[in-house]
Chain A
């Protein structure tokens, strides 16, 4: 084993080992826990940076471990996995800082941070998975690691939300497992290869391959919250704000979307999937989800619920980009994986700040909050404008490429109306919030002011994470053409997938 084989393992272990140690820490050992968390997060960032450089220069990082004859656990870094690993590593660091501030003096912190680290390890593992078998393992681990986080508050509502989450994701996991086993019996170990591996199978396998595709996509669609499999997501918003951030931006929903990208590009191959006529169905499901999520978001007064439905809608942009044949559509979908993550985590951080600082949970309570918490509200506004697709925030870049890609692929007839409708609806559910926050007079008192205004409008650990991620959302849009930007990286991915 040399460095190239160890690196993927170390990237996973840098959050796994601290997490395991944290479980065994005494509850009061606050300093050690923080140290382990941050050391792990920073170490992971350093390791991932070296991985980015290596993958760009076509270095091969791969580790293998045999679990049973013919079943190998493979961690392999390619352009797509590096994109997702980087996203979750950066956002994990930010979320950890936020969670330390958010959970100050709350009970069960060792349990929380232990599972928090496991959750990120599972995410990084599934990002680095080198075959479908490995992906399934980490996909299920992710379910297991997030269940305690959703149930963390222990109220009957939280336990109920967690149970619904589990019922959906385990059910989806089973379908994914069946599809994977079936594919394994047909085609052997299904390694992820750019351009796909199934195109060479004889034509009489095609009906079976279509069935398998359906099983895989439905299994993944549960986590990606494709309508009608999205029911768990609005329920899971009872979780604490850092967990919501994790569910919506870093880990769970993204894992589903990432899986769809993997299956289409690196298992079936996008051209072969198109040849089987599978992309249209996926595109229609994504389009329905985009519109449905936006419409539902309109009617939510609870801020987190509104954001949850917004996630349902926004994540399907990734699936939509996957369904659009051609490199430009691919770029749009893949880059949205990153852009949506950065913007949505900002929104959930700020929603958490309103709740923790002033006790605001509903949109109708947000009148004039911009005067009391200007920095938080500014971050919220940037992210919301990005979601609508206003330039120069990141979301604009994604939509631009999706639209261009659809035109190029001759799918503009139905993709463009969906994109426009979604933008209008996004504006319809975000702009009134911004109007209230900035221009309405505040009421006489906030619902429950927990943290008084001092030097900052709220705790520093709560304030800085959303400010930083909002700046990131702005920067990824402004400097989209800079080297190593998400857009440039997505372009690299598209080039390698299409063999350009």
Chain B
């Protein structure tokens, strides 16, 4: 049990090597790796739920020299979500890429991306976080460029530059911290950091790097083209997981490591940018002509909601109300991960079956794929935040926090964003009703459609109805 964290990094890494060395068996290797890693994530979640946070020193070397892995409630939940999303997307990808050379290029990068995601979530010190962040960015860029078209390569190049700029800013902040405090271990830093001329610029540098990577408005400009022109399984993982990894780091730094340094004004600034993201992203999603662009702008908006929690968390006194709000934040992030991945997979199916993803021309075509349409509808329920999705519970906490602390403006933003989301989702679903005959069987292409359907159902039903343990696992405010 205690060494599960290392398996979460070692398994996908071994899978990546196997896929690289044995291109013919790459798909099989990836699926087997996916299953094993998911089991490991489940075991880890069970361990953290029963025994509390885990620490693991690689090779027995203590911190300072060796590498520390740590897993607590939040990171474990994200690890499990990552595993489930990547597994489902892998199953879909096994039918998406039809040519052998495509698969040979895709699988090693894919598993490398997973390795770096897991390593990032398990890292316990700033330097390892920097390394994994860099690795994550590079593998994500390589995957995004696999579309091969000019637009995809252009978008990927911009993605690369933005990612490098973000990492550099982050590294500069890390350097300041090391110069000032002589340690990079997160737990130690959380104890010793003090407001002052080192902590403030360091936080500003690291945060701006991360905000760039998590595409917070107005730093989101690179995201829509990159996510909209990547292959569908890649878009799913980029939108659902990669941006969220950067968000996870912001959350860790602001609520955990730098908790003594944060001022209400800075938290309000994050909230304000989040509000901008919610409104601007939803509005652009409503105006988008292509489904993938709609989904990408929706990601910008959904990340905005997560930032609305910062001013609330800072205003709430430590205690049950703050824990509830923190749980709502985690729930919203998890729901969005599943829903957005399901949405992108469903869009991929439509794109491959119909040859396009122009929203205006979806009439009838969507009807040939009732299960896919249903997956979009379920994902849509979660994105709008309607019950019984997990996002409903998350937004409930957001609204309750806003009422509780008297910060009504966040409530207005949340409601406006939700209504805009309903508008862009139902704009798509309106096209699903028409006169074309229904195919005889609801699920038409099982291996393609089930992953999308299950991911969306996870977001819209499972997390909402059986998500109470999420609150039990978190310990952010302690």
Q: Which residues of A contact B (CB under 8 A)?
A: 23-28, 65-71, 107-108, 110-111, 136-137, 140-141, 144, 147-148, 151-155, 158-159, 162-163, 166, 170-171, 174, 177-178, 181-182, 184-185
Contacts and interface: CB of A to CB of B under 8 A. Distances in A.
Contact of B442 (A65, A110, A148, A181): A110
Contacts, number: 98
Contacts of A108: 438
Nearest to A141: B387
B399 A181 contact: yes
Interface in B360-394: 370, 374, 381, 386-388, 392-393
25 contacts: A24-B443, A26-B440, A26-B441, A26-B442, A28-B440, A65-B465, A67-B468, A68-B331, A68-B397, A68-B467, A69-B320, A70-B324, A71-B396, A107-B438, A137-B388, A140-B386, A148-B433, A171-B419, A174-B415, A177-B399, A177-B415, A178-B411, A178-B415, A184-B400, A185-B403
B400 A181 contact: yes
Contacts of A136: 387
A185 B404 contact: yes
A70 to B, nearest CB: 7
Nearest to A183: B403
B464 interface: yes
A287 to B, nearest CB: 30
A162 B430 contact: yes
Given A67-B464, A69-B324, 12 more contacts: A23-B442, A69-B468, A110-B442, A154-B435, A155-B435, A162-B433, A163-B426, A166-B422, A170-B419, A171-B419, A177-B415, A185-B403
A23 B443 CA distance: 10
A68 B418 contact: no
Most chain A beta-carbon neighbours within 10 Å: one of B426, B435, B443, B467: B426
B108 interface: no
A181 B438 CA distance: 41
A68 B399 contact: no
B433 A151 contact: yes
Contacts of A178: 399, 411, 415
Interface in B229-287: none
A208 to B, nearest CB: 10
A111 B392 CA distance: 25
Contacts of B434: 154
Question: Interface extent on B, as a size class?
Answer: 35 or more
B438 A27 contact: yes
Contact of B438 (A111, A174, A177, A185): A111
A173 to B, nearest CB: 8
Contacts of B411: 178
Chain B CB count within 10 A is highest, among A26, A68, A111, A182, for A68
A195 to B, nearest CB: 26
Contacts of B433: 148, 151-154, 158-159, 162
B365 to A, nearest CB: 13
B422 A170 contact: yes
Interface string B427-458: 00010011101111111000000000000000
Given A67-B467, A67-B468, A178-B399, A141 B430 contact: no
B348 interface: no
B393 A67 contact: yes
Nearest to A25: B442
B27 to A, nearest CB: 28
Given A26-B440, A154-B434, A166-B422, A68 B400 contact: no
B471 A69 contact: yes
A73 B387 CA distance: 12
Given A110-B442, A137-B388, A181 B471 contact: no
Contacts of A166: 422, 426
Given A107-B437, A171-B419, A68 B442 contact: no
Nearest to B403: A185
Contacts of B465: 65, 67
A153 B440 CA distance: 18
A108 B470 CA distance: 39
B327 interface: yes
Contact of A68 (B403, B430, B443, B471): B471
Contacts of A140: 386-387, 392
Nearest to B381: A144
B396 A163 contact: no
Interface string B459-478: 00000110110110000000
B442 A24 contact: yes
A218 to B, nearest CB: 14
Contacts of B404: 185
Given A67-B467, A141-B388, A166-B426, A182 B438 contact: no
